[in-house]
Amino acid sequence: MNDISSSIVNTLKDKPAQPARCIARSLDIPKKVINHHLHILLKDKVTQNSDYTWSVNNKSSDTEPKNASNHSREKVMPENNDNIENNNFAFDSLQAIRNRLLDLTGRNRLLNFKHGRTGFIRVIDELPNQLAETILEGDEVTFVPVEEPTRDDLIEHGYIVINEKGVDVKAKTDPTAKEWAKIKGFNTSYELSQSSASHEAKHNDDNIQSLLFPRELEAQLRNIRSKANTAIEETGANILYLAFGFLEWYEDENSDVARQAPLYLIPVKIDCASLNKDLGTYTYTIEYTSEDIISNLSLREKLKHDFHLELPELTDELTPEEYFKSIQQQLLGHKPKWKLKRFATLAMFDFGKLLMYLDLDPERWPQGSNNIQNHEILQKFFAREGSDEGSVNSSFGNEYAIDSLEGVHDLYPLIDDADSSQHSALVDAIKGKNLVIEGPPGSGKSQTITNLIAAAIAQGKKVLFVAEKMAALQVVKSG
């Protein structure tokens, strides 16, 4: 390996699961050079994860020196040991659980996004490559409205006439935002131009043109900001993206129901910038979150499962136009009825459950003893035949006679109230047993978690507490 390759491998050893941009930043090497090494020179030594981060490949033999004991143990193991399948593992049951996480129906916005009335902002009169480049460079970009016509504008364009008495008379209905934008010289089509470069000022500024009047735009963006921030507060995950390009597809050749799926998604955050005193409305900006650009993972699985087609890979170096071209070459050639819609839309898309689906794929786990089929906990859920140990460990826990336990207050201390069943759960957890605690609201689950964390810390252990929603973390933290 050359010096750059060695540096990349050492960086990933020190901190696995890093995106290419973080590796480039830490090594102070251009990202294109890093990607060249990751995708080509180090393809046998590093692995790209489902979230597009990179880690050292566990199967690589020359990226990490092994001590003598490890080396001797590997020589004893048969070469094909990695492919040994656990016959007692119910893969069909695991697949059934995974399928419940995978929503490939029309309810999934990633497969059937509808440009209705609210919940999104559509972009007009912009160039995909130039807009994407501006955002990815870290610049804040501002959504701008169509300026409402003044009285003089309406008179000039014949919407108002003045009669003999000098009174304004409405000659025709006030123009819509789309009609007025067209009069003002905007390209009002949602199909963005294919031009890759433009010297026009409107394509080289930090604005994104919408097709809404000021108050409509403010209301929509305020609503989007509220929902996006709530998602971050409750789940810790950003779900706001600026989507470039939509695949218009059909369930089968006889279907007349067109569905649209976003293709090139840039994760962004939205902020309320300032008050426009002239218009009396607030302006809103979006900014790149620095997370990886992602393709539509739901669409990838849908195409694979239902059509036996592969969605083209999306890397950080690909521009929207380049990705659109690969979509046309790899998909539309097989499906002439399908179309590529050159739309750009700011909207919310949730990938959460799909990432869980990918994580539970046995093919994505290391082979051999570290494969998902050999995971101690999962074996208890998916074993075809139980064992004495499994049947005991998988049953309901026993309630201890707390007062009879030796050293109970030293080994299993409490900092919050607990009844005997809650204290018994604490005892099992401190003993290292795997367990699930369930109960209705108000039954003391949060207090039990608080006691468990305190007891573990008292023994010098570190505790990782994970919750689906931020509110659950706050309850325990404040408790």
**What local confidence, expressed as pLDDT, does residue 354 receive?**
77
Q: What tokens were used for 284?
A: 């809103």
pLDDT value of position 52: 64
Q: What is the pLDDT of residue 76?
A: 33
> What are the counts of helices (DSSP H) followed by strands (DSSP E) for the chain?
18, 12
Q: What is the pLDDT of residue 114?
A: 95
CA 7, 13, 19, 25 dihedral sign is negative
Q: Return the SS3 of 86.
A: coil
How far from 43 is each of 57, 88, 177, 429, CA to CA, in Å?
A: 9, 34, 51, 42
How far apart CA 45 and CA 62 sit, in angstroms, is 8
What burial class does residue 189 get, using C-beta atoms within 10 Å of its C-beta: 0-12 exposed, 13-18 middle, 19+ buried? middle
Which residue do the tokens 């409205």 mark? 145
Residues 431 and 427: their CA atoms lie apart, in Å, by: 6
What is the residue type of 20? A
- Record the tokens describing residue 353, joined without a space: 């459950």
Full-prediction pTM beyond 0.75? no
Measured between alpha carbons, how far is residue 24 from residues 30, 137, 313, 434, 461 in Å?
A: 6, 15, 21, 40, 34
Which tokens sit at 433? 């047993």
Q: Which residues of the chain have pLDDT under 50?
A: 60-81, 83, 389-393
Terminus-to-terminus CA distance in the chain, angstroms? Answer: 53
Helix axes 445-458, 420-430, angle to 10 degrees: 40
In DSSP notation, 270-313 reads EEEEEEETTTTEEEEEEEE-SSPPEE-HHHHHHIIIII---PPP
The answer to whether the CB of 58 falls within 8 A of the CB of 49 is no
What whole-number distance in Å separates Cα of residue 244 and Cα of residue 119? Answer: 17
Look at residues 3, 475, 468 and name the one whose alpha carbon lies nearest to residue 236. 468
**Nearest to 251, CA basis, from 202, 303, 205:** 303
